[in-house]
Amino acid sequence: MKDSCTASVFSMVDFAVLTVALTGLAVLLAHYLRLRVRLPPGPRPWPVVGNLYDIKPVRVRCFAEWAEAYGPIMSVWFGTTLNVVVSSSELAREVLREKDQQLADRARSRSATRFSRDGTDLIWADYGPHYVKVRKLCNLELFSSERLDALRPIREDEVTAMIESIFKECSRSDKTGKSLVLLDHLAAVAFNTMTRLVFGKRFVRPDGVADEQGVEFKAIISNRRRFGASLSLAEFVPWLRWMFPLDVEAYDKHGARRDRLTRRIMEEHAQSRHEGGSKGHFVDALLTLKDQYDLSEDTIIGILWVGLLPSVIMQTLLSVVQGSNRLSFDEQDMITAGVDTTVILVEWAMAEIVRNPGLQQRIQDELDRVIGHERIISEADFSSLPYLECVVKESLRLHPPTPLMLPHKASAGVKIAGYDIPRGATVIVNIWAIARDPKTWEQPTEFRPDRFLEEDIDVTGHDFRVLPFGAGRRTCPGAQLGFQLATSMLGHLLHHFRWTLPDGEEPADVDMSESPGLVAFMRTPLRAVAATRLPLHLYRRVPAEM
C-alpha cells in the first residue's frame, strides 16, 4: 500500500513538473516569436490559454472593441495558436485578393478534420488541386444559373408552405392579435428546402412528423452536437492533446452511421435515375458527374453533408432535437458554416421592419404596385422589385449571419499591412465591423436600404466594404441561392401579411442583440403579429411535384 501511495505521489509530482515546464516553454516560445517577427499588436496573452478567457461571448463585438484599441489588424491568441483579426475593408482586400493565394487554406479543429475526412469536402479543404476541382464542380454544375432555375419550384413550394403554416397558426388562434415566433416558420423553410435540394426529399412531413430516414437524420445531427460540446482547451494548445485524445472509435461509429444513411439515399437516387432519369437534385448531379470529376464516395458524402448542408440546417435540427431554438456558445462553434444564411438574415430583416412601420409600408407599396392582390410573388418578379432587394442587401450589411468569416490559414509566411503573418497562423476577417465602419459608411448603424439605391454596391464579394458571402478563392459558391431564397421568403411574408409588434411592445423593446457564437442569431427570437392582406385562396399551397 505504501509503495502504491508513493508511486501515486510521484506521478502527481511528475505531472505538475511537466506542466510547469511546458508552460514555461510555451511562454519562452511566444516571447521568442514576438522578438523574431513583427506581429500585429493586440491584447497581452496569458501563458498557455492566451486570450481565450478574455474574449467576451459575442466574439464579433469583442474583436471590434479591441480593434478600437489596437487598430484594424491585431493578434489574438487562442491558447498557443496565433489568430490575426482584420477589421477594415482595405485590409480585407489585402487578405482576400492581394495575398489570397497564401491565405486560402483552412484552419480546422480536430473534430472538423474528422467530420470532413481530413478536408475532402468543400468547406474545410485546404487550397489545392482537390479544392479547385470541387469548387469548379460547385460553380459550374451544382450552383449554376441553369440548375438553380430548374430547382426553383422546390424553393417556391416551401416558401408557400411557410405562408400556409403561418396562416393556419393565425387562424387557429382564439385571440385576435396573438403573436407567433417567426423563427419556427423560417427554420422549417430552410430545413425542407435544403434537404429537398440536396437529397431530393422531405424528411419531415407538413404535420411535423419525421419519416424513418428523418428520425435517423436528426439522430446523426444530435450525435454530432455531442462531439461539438466536448471540445477542450487542447484544441488550441497542441501539446496538451495527449491529455485529451479524441474518442476515435466514437467518431468512426458516427461517420459509419452517417455514411449508411447517405448511401441508402444515393442508392434510391441511382435506382430512380435508372428508371426515369435525373430530376436535377444535388445528389443526382454528383452521381451523374462522379466519373467526369473523378469523385470518390468520401468526397461526395463530404460535399453533401459539410459542403452543401448549411449551418442553419444543423442549427434547426439541433433545436428540434433539444426542444429549443438556441444552442450554447460552445455548441454553436462546432456547427458547420455553410451556404445557407437565410434564417438569420430574414429574421433580422423582419425585426428591422416591424420596428419601422414606414419601411414596411414602402416595401408593401412596391409589392402591391408590381404584384397586386390577385396573385403571389415569384422569383421571376425580383428584377421588378428593386427596393425589396435593397432591404435584403441592407440586412446582409448590418446583420451578416456569419459575422466573422470562416477562418483562413497561412500556407506560407506573408506580410499584411507591414506585419508578419507566420505560416500556420489563422486569419479572421471581421466583416461585421467592416460593414459598420464610419470611415466607409454614412450612418453605419442605421438600417437604411436606400444606400443601395443611391450606389450600386455588390454584396457577393467584389466590394470589400460588405462581405456577407466572403471573397476571393473561398467565396461562398451558394451566394446566389441564399440571396434568392431570402428575397423570396421576405417578399412572401410582406406581401401576404402586415406585421406588427405584440400589444404593449414598443420598437425599443425588441432585443436587437446577437446570441453568442459564430453565427449571429437574434439573442431573443422575434415575436410578431401577422394580419392577412390578400384573398384567402392565396394562402393555400399547391404542392410541387419535384
Annotated binding site for heme: 476
CA-nearest of 179, 210, 82 to 529 is: 179
One-letter-per-residue 3-state SS of 379-408: HHHHHHCHHHHHHHHHHHHHCCCCCECCCE
Give strand ranges (E) for 445-507.
497-500
353's grid cell: 421592419
Q: Residues annotated as binding site?
A: 476
Identify whether the C-beta of residue 95 lies closer than 8 Å to the C-beta of residue 86: yes
**Phi and psi at residue 442, in whole multiples of 5°?**
-80, 135
Give the span between the Cα atoms of 140 and 180, in whole angstroms: 40
How far apart CA 455 and CA 178 sit, in angstroms, is: 40
Dmax (CA) of the chain: 90
Neighbours of 272 (CB within 10 A): 15
Euclidean distance between CA atoms 503 and 490, whole angstroms:
23
Task: Check: CB of residue 202 under 8 Å from CB of residue 194.
Answer: no
**DSSP characters for 220-287?**
HHHHHHHHHHT--GGGT-GGGTTTS---HHHHHHHHHHHHHHHHHHHHHHHHHHHHH-----HHHHHH
386 residue type, one letter: P
Return d(Cα 317, Cα 31) in angstroms, integer: 45
